[in-house]
């Protein structure tokens, strides 16, 4: 049978970009979602493609067994994809990232060997048809490269885990290689190779389909016992067991909160939310951007005067996580709650102006990829337009002086309370020392259950201490540099002052 150059070119594009998508997910997770992670994966793949194309071009000039070469390349690349999760997990005992780079380089190079082979075998020598036949092979590869990430992101990862996705993509490659071998290159050695890879794929199906998500556990920076792991195409969420201070929640392999709701333990700094009850007398409408495990939303149900709480969350995996914790799950059933799942900017653009008395942004670490879109002057300006005239906003700077500087550019009064910016249209610091502030905080009762007893007066007064408050000048003096304004385009928290 004639070698199906266009189909193989399509398959190679599909497999190469599908595997790259999975390696981006795994490598970015291992690197805690730093923006440089994607760049490194892309650079590695481009280097691999260049090396593989060079090798393939030399083989086209010297070898007469090009069909067998293409079948072997598809088989070998698929075998590496199948073995990838196992090898990465073994490497987590030391440092998995160098091995991941080697795997990515090898997979990209091996698949790319097929590209010049497909052109060599699939391009007609007829002068009237050279350009057309060559462009069709090329276009087939592009079509496969486009389809691969779409299938992985919107189908495979929508229904299953990363470790299973590696197996699915690897088995697809083995099947494609088997078809090439049977139809075009029925060599005994290749048949045995296909059988061995099928066995590896079967082992991968059994291991990857297990309920224990061993790949993500291995790549996690926090090594204690994982109570829950949820994967969606939007991200990876893990909850680690801690019966004393509340389970730790990690999103994208970085700390994202705790389940603790006890202000006396305060392992997750819930005073930074509770202080808002003292600063705003009656916040009727509240917006929470970013759910995490829902601890903040639970606390906000106990604020006096709250009539409606709008929640925006981009990752539906957090909803599954919240269901595992009774207090947080009960708050989600409060009739005052309205949940929006999707991109925050898109949703906010459709919200009426002057809507919210209180805005709580559960922002992640300032050095993670895309976080500038939440910390930028443009986004805070959009948020300001959705706030009532006496509204207040708070979010975690995670130690970035630039986040505080940006807030001061948008709000007349923005100061640091612990690690949180609290911004508004009047100087809220004077409210901390009023007797009514103590009364309002003592009265907080999430889902009708008071947080504080009469004996907790000293705890409340500590939460209201002005020692926790700092202005921009104090923060700049401590960090030793002038803070800068974050915009959608300058990405300073991610690159210039990131990790």
Output b/e per residue, 268-300; b: 16+ Cβ within 10 A. bebbbbbbbbbbbeebebbbbbbbbbbbbbbbb
pLDDT tens digits along 251-308? 999 999 999 999 999 999 999 999 999 999 889 999 999 999 999 999 999 999 999 9
How far is the C-alpha of 118 from the C-alpha of 7, rounded, in Å?
9
How far is the C-alpha of 21 from the C-alpha of 92, rounded, in Å?
20
Question: pLDDT value at position 93?
Answer: 76
What Rg, from alpha-carbon coordinates, does the chain have?
27
pLDDT tens digits along 189-198? 666 766 676 7
Tokens, residue 344:
């925050």
How far is the C-alpha of 369 from the C-alpha of 414, rounded, in Å?
25
Which three-class secondary structure state does DSSP give residue 313? Answer: strand
Max Cα-Cα span within the chain: 92
Backbone dihedral angles phi then psi of residue 322, each to the nearest 5 degrees: -60, -35
CA 400 to chain centre: 20
Question: pLDDT value at position 174?
Answer: 87
Burial class of residue 10 in the structure, from the number of CB atoms within 10 Å of its CB (0-12 exposed, 13-18 middle, 19+ buried): buried
Give Cα separations from 204 to 96, 167, 208 (angstroms).
19, 6, 6
Which three-class secondary structure state does DSSP give residue 25? Answer: helix
The residue ranges of the chain whose pLDDT is under 70 are: 1, 124-128, 185-191, 193-195, 197, 200, 208-211
CA angle at residue 231 from 146 to 27, to 5 degrees? Answer: 60
Tokens, residue 74:
């598809």
CA 106 to chain centre: 26
The CATH superfamily holding the domain 257-479 is Vaccinia Virus protein VP39 (3.40.50.150)
Intervals of CATH 1.20.1250 along the chain: 5-216
How far is the C-alpha of 420 from the C-alpha of 177, rounded, in Å?
55
Which three-class secondary structure state does DSSP give residue 232? Answer: strand
Pairing verdict, β 469-470 and 420-424: unpaired
In 123-161, alpha helices (H) = 130-151, 157-159
Please state at what angle helix 96-122 crosses helix 36-62, rounded to 10 degrees: 40
**pTM, two decimal places:** 0.91
Of 1.10.357, 2.40.350, 1.20.1250, 1.10.890, which CATH number belongs to 5-216? 1.20.1250
Burial class of residue 386 in the structure, from the number of CB atoms within 10 Å of its CB (0-12 exposed, 13-18 middle, 19+ buried): buried
Question: pLDDT value at position 385?
Answer: 96
How far is the C-alpha of 192 from the C-alpha of 182, rounded, in Å?
12
Intervals of CATH 3.40.50.150 along the chain: 257-479
Give Cα separations from 427 to 54, 354, 461 (angstroms).
65, 19, 19
CA 136 to chain centre: 36
């Amino acid at each position: 049978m004639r070698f199906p150059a266009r189909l193989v070119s399509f398959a190679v594009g599909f497999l190469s970009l599908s595997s790259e998508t999975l390696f981006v997910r795994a490598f970015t997770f291992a690197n805690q979602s730093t923006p440089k992670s994607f760049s490194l994966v892309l650079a590695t793949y481009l280097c691999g493609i260049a090396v593989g194309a060079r090798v393939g071009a030399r083989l086209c000039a010297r070898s007469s067994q090009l069909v067998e070469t293409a079948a072997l390349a598809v088989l070998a690349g698929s075998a590496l994809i199948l073995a990838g999760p196992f090898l990465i997990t073994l490497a987590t005992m030391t440092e998995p990232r160098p091995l991941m780079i080697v795997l990515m380089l090898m997979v990209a190079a091996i698949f790319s060997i097929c590209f010049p082979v497909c052109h060599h075998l699939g391009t007609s020598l007829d002068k009237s048809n050279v350009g057309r036949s060559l462009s069709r092979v090329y276009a087939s590869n592009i079509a496969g490269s486009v389809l691969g990430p779409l299938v992985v992101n919107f189908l495979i990862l929508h229904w299953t885990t990363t470790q299973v996705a590696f197996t699915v993509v690897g088995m697809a490659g083995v099947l494609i290689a088997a078809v090439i071998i049977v139809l075009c290159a029925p060599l005994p050695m290749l048949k045995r190779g296909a059988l061995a890879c099928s066995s590896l794929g079967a082992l991968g199906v059994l291991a990857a389909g297990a309920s224990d998500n061993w790949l993500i556990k291995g790549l996690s920076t926090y090594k204690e016992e994982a109570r829950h792991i949820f994967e969606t195409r939007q991200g990876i969420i893990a909850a680690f067991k801690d019966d004393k201070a509340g389970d730790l929640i990690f999103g994208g392999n970085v700390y994202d909160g705790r389940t603790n709701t006890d202000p006396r333990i305060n392992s997750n700094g819930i005073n930074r939310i509770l202080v808002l009850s003292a600063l705003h007398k009656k916040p009727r409408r509240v917006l929470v951007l970013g759910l995490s495990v829902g601890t903040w939303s639970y606390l906000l149900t106990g604020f006096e005067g709250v009539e409606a709480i709008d929640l925006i969350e981009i990752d539906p995996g957090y909803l599954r996580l919240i269901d595992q914790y009774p207090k947080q799950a009960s708050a989600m059933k409060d009739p005052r709650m309205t949940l929006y799942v999707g991109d925050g900017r898109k949703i906010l653009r459709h919200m009426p102006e002057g809507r919210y008395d209180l805005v709580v942004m559960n922002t992640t670490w300032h050095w993670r990829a895309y976080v500038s879109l939440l910390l930028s002057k443009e986004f805070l300006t959009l948020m300001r337009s959705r706030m009532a005239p006496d509204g207040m906003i708070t979010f975690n700077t995670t130690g970035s002086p630039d986040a505080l500087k940006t807030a001061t550019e948008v709000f007349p009064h923005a100061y640091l309370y612990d690690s949180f910016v609290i911004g508004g249209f009047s100087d809220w610091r004077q409210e901390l020392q009023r007797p009514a502030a103590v009364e309002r905080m003592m009265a907080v009762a999430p889902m009708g259950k008071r947080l504080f007893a009469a004996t907790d007066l000293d705890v409340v007064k500590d939460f209201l201490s002005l020692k926790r408050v700092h202005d921009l000048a104090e923060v700049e003096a401590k960090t030793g540099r002038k803070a800068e304004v974050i915009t959608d385009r300058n990405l300073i928290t991610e690159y210039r002052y990131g990790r």
